[in-house]
Amino acid sequence: MARRTSVHGEWSSKMAFILAATGSAVGLGNIWRFPYVTGESGGGAFVIIYLICVAAVGLPIMIAEIMLGRRGRQSPLNTMRTLATEEGATPAWQYVGWLGMAAGFLILSFYSVVAGWTLAYTVRTAAGIFDGQTADGVQAIFTSFIGDPERLLGWHTIFMVMTIIVVSRGVKSGLEQAVRFLMPALFVLLVAMVGYAMNTGQFEQAIDYLFKPDFSKVTWEVVLKAMGQAFFSLSLGMGAIMIYGSYLSHTASIVKTATIIAGMDTLVAVLAGLAIFPLVFQYGLAPSGGPGLIFMTLPIAFGQMPGGAFVGAAFFLLLVFAAWTSAISLMEPVVTWLVENRGMNRVKASAWAGLFAWLLGVVSLLSLNVWSGEQFQLFGMPFMDLVDWLTANVMLPLGGLLIAIFAAWVMSRDASRAELGLPEGMGYTAWRVLVRYVTPVAVILVLFNQTGLI
Ligand code: PFF
């Protein structure tokens, strides 16, 4: 088969791809979502199941997504259609692309709202409003903040505009530079926070909480949440990694790069847990405190450490950048599709995609305050929780399942082996067994047991 090239261009190097994909994976999912979902799910057992999901489900699917992207070289939707036709399968596989675009769009809507919180917290921390605050004070500040729709709206809008600006310019120009410096900086600061937590917080209790599994706490719901978290955190199941893979050069090793990306993502999540839980226990907060967890713990530390206003502002600012590079990848599949199929230019495509995601985000934002009453809930959840639940725990795993089935059952052995650039042998066989049997069975079992959807 003649190799395709992408009309949207190619990464300048393999390193650029690793950086961009890591930028997509590392975001609010690691630092905001992982700790609070761990806390809601009872700790250690959840963490172990999460790690198993990353290795046995996430990594094989990531390899599959990059492979499909590089082979198709178009938006996820058109890639799926082209590859399906090439393999003599039904073009209905393009619906995986639709599902992915819908998921990306829905995630982006509430992601931008939470990213807005981090923007606000950058400014607030820098201004010193947490200096010397007690745990109760910090909690009260957060509660009053999310109770104020106008403030939230302002920050949500700023973040969405930031995302539109980068996507409209083409993700390859600015992203690489940004990620190259900011990711290591975030990493260093996170390690420093772990160091701080080690000295001032209940570090041993946190270690026990995070790594001593109590399997009596495991229910199907916990397993589903762990799997959903793995998909969310690794940016899988919706085409974000697929579209980035479509800009990857043919010489790069997919297996190696995917392993690096998944490894870094997991490391950041574990570090976030180690930075936050010692403080949770130190200040007698509830691990199950929900989505506000990091905003109610870290500022206490920033308020008490010397130079905390500076360190704290730097931390939240880096988190903004991490969220930004993820949001960009959430928008990219829709934008490339609009460019390919609707003949729009990138600027127009990003503006439309951003506008709709922004509007939906406004509904999420209002569900935190004005529409937080029970009469506004759907399926017993506020709108924002519902969108989060539906995307992470249903749409992404379902998309990932279909991607695995396509890569391992529809695509021929020769085609996948050639694209992965692997010889016949243990490595290739291991991947194939995982995506062919382990991943689909695991995802089907978990989805079936917990959602009743399939
Ligand atoms: N992986 C991102 C995070 O952990 O914050 C969120 C995300 C980005 C999810 C892209 C899905 C996606 F396609």
Residues of the chain with pLDDT under 70: 1-2, 171, 173-174, 177-178, 451-454
Which backbone phi and psi does 378 adopt, to 5 degrees? Answer: -120, 135
* Res 451: pLDDT: 67
DSSP H/E element including 383: helix 383-389
Are the beta carbons of 66 and 75 closer than 8 angstroms? no
Distance CA 293, CA 286 (A): 9
Residue 3 resides in a domain: no
Q: What is the CATH number of the domain that holds 46?
A: 1.20.1740
Tell me how far apart the alpha carbons of residues 233 and 30 are, in angstroms, rounded to a whole number.
6
Residue 389: phi and psi, rounded to 5, are -60, -50
Ligand 1 centroid, distance to 353 Cα (angstroms): 17
Q: Which atom of ligand 1 is the closest one to the Cα of 30?
A: 4
**Residue 331: per-residue pLDDT:** 95
Tell me how far apart the alpha carbons of residues 221 and 155 are, in angstroms, rounded to a whole number.
Answer: 33
The pLDDT tens digits of the residues spanning 80-102 come to: 999 999 999 999 999 999 999 99
Any atom of ligand 1 within 6 Å of the Cβ of 24: yes
Amino acid sitting at position 376: F
Counting every residue, how long is the chain? 454
Which pLDDT does position 369 carry in this prediction? 95
Q: How many CB atoms lie within 10 A of CB 8?
A: 20
Residue with tokens 């957060």: 142
- Ligand 1 center to 88 CA (angstroms): 32
Nearest atom (ligand 1) to Cα of 237: 13
Query: Residue 354: inside a domain, yes or no?
Result: yes
Whether residue 424 is contained in a domain is answered as: yes
> Is any ligand 1 atom within 6 A of the Cβ of residue 271?
no
Domain count along the chain: 1
- Inside any domain, residue 9: no
Q: What is the pLDDT of residue 155?
A: 98
**Which of 110, 175, 231, 235 for mutating ligand 1's site (highest number of atoms within 8 Å of CB)?**
235
Residue 198 domain-assigned (yes or no): yes
Judge if the beta carbon of residue 197 lies within 6 A of ligand 1: no
pLDDT at 269: 97
Tell whether 273 is covered by a domain. yes
Helix (H) or strand (E) holding 263: helix 254-282
Strands (E), 196-240: none
**Whole-number Å distance between alpha carbons of 113 and 425:** 46
For residue 378, the cross-strand partners are: 381
- Whether residue 6 lies inside any domain: the answer is no
Q: Is residue 286 part of a domain?
A: yes
| Secondary structure of residue 381 in the 3-state scheme | strand
Tokens of 139: 């909690």
Rounded to the nearest whole angstrom, what is the distance from the C-alpha of residue 417 to the centroid of ligand 1?
A: 27
Q: Which two tokens stand for residue 177?
A: 């530079």
Half-sphere exposure of 58 (CA within 13 A, CB side): 27
3-state SS of the chain: helix, strand, coil percent to 5? 80, 0, 20
Identify the pLDDT of residue 275.
Answer: 94
Compute the distance between CA of residue 355 and CA of residue 353 in angstroms, rounded to an integer.
Answer: 6
Q: Is the dihedral of CA 164, 165, 171, 177 positive or negative?
A: negative
Give SS3 for 425.
coil
| Cα torsion angle, 305, 308, 311, 316, sign | positive
DSSP 286: -
pTM over 0.85: yes
* Contact present, 212 and 4 (Cβ < 8 Å): no
308 CB less than 6 Å from ligand 1?
no
Is the shortest distance between the CB of 29 and ligand 1 below 6 Å? yes
Range of the domain at 107: 14-450
> For residue 374, how far is its CA from the centre of ligand 1 (angstroms)?
29
Please indicate whether residue 238, judged by its CB atom, sits closer than 6 Å to ligand 1.
Answer: yes
Q: At what angle do helices 171-200 and 14-25 cross, to 10 degrees?
A: 50
CA of 324 to the centre of ligand 1 (A): 10
d(CA 351, CA 216): 48
Site to substitute for ligand 1 among 107, 321, 335, 393, most atoms within 8 A of C-beta:
107
Q: Judge if the beta carbon of residue 439 lies within 6 A of ligand 1.
A: no
Q: Which residues are within 8 A (CB) of 321 and not within 5 positions of it... i.e. 6 or more apart?
A: 178, 182, 186
Beta strand segments in 72-114, E: none
Cβ-count burial 179-197 (b if 16+ within 10 Å, e if not): beebbeebbebbeebbebb
CA of 134 to the centre of ligand 1 (A): 33
What pLDDT digit, counting tens, does each position of 166-225 carry? 899 886 766 776 677 888 888 899 999 999 999 988 999 999 999 999 999 899 889 999
Task: Name every residue whose Cβ is closer than 8 Å to that of residue 369 and which is 6 or more positions away in sequence.
Answer: 146, 147, 148, 149, 152
Distance 250 CA to ligand 1 centre (A): 25
